[in-house]
Chains A and B, each alone.
Chain A
């Protein structure tokens, strides 16, 4: 099976702009989670989607949003970008929402905000 794919791999934006990142899960996986990785804060959970519904959300401002489509593909959006949003954004897919469902990660999207 093909792994998790994320597009684009690299992105440069300026403050105040918005950005949309895309994630395609492993075939058959219905859950998609997003994480932000920065040198200072480490890996932090953003949100998790299952069956087109946001099931869980981490402690991030409302500027961070996402959605999931009927084919389980997911997008996350960040509006009004700030310098501190520069990070590696990782998407992970799993068969379902259970704790026993291992999450498999994509290669990430490196976002730089200037």
Chain B
């Protein structure tokens, strides 16, 4: 079974600074999909960014970008110019090529605190 590990239970960053959240995963598949979701206090899960494993180019969405290292099975999220609204739980998630029998596999999450 696939596993996703987020080794940082909590991270703190000053407003306007850059922060990187770590994620590693384990899979025997060569084709798969990786996601970062954000869960603010409202508990609504919001998609931040996604990455297809077959694409070498790292995905970018405005202030959010990923560093995808397929050989190392690493998928980190970089948030630039951190804003107070970025404060939330961030979950890294994996999904297999055919959707997978396990749906999305999530990490335990990283609680991101933004210091004003």
Which residue numbers of A lie inside 8 Å of B, CB to CB? 33, 35, 42-43, 45, 47-48, 55-56, 58, 88, 90, 92, 97-108, 110
Contacts and interface: CB of A to CB of B under 8 A. Distances in A.
B44 A107 contact: yes
B91 A43 contact: yes
Given A45-B103, A45-B105, A107-B44, A102 B98 contact: no
A42 B103 CA distance: 14
A69 B107 CA distance: 31
B109 A42 contact: yes
Contact of A48 (B31, B45, B99, B106): B99
B71 interface: no
A33 B102 CA distance: 10
Closest 5 pairs between A and B when the two form their complex, measured CB to CB: A45-B103, A105-B45, A43-B106, A97-B99, A99-B95
B13 interface: no
Contacts of A55: 99
A39 B103 CA distance: 20
12 contacts: A33-B103, A33-B104, A45-B104, A48-B99, A55-B99, A56-B99, A97-B98, A99-B95, A100-B33, A100-B52, A101-B99, A103-B95
Given A90-B45, A105-B45, A108-B43, A99 B103 contact: no
A62 to B, nearest CB: 18
B97 A99 contact: yes
B50 interface: yes
A104 B37 CA distance: 10
A107 B47 contact: no
A42 B104 contact: no
A58 B104 CA distance: 10
B99 A98 contact: yes
Contacts of A104: 47
Contacts of A45: 102-105
A107 B42 CA distance: 8
B89 to A, nearest CB: 10
Interface string B12-50: 000000000000000000011101010000111111001
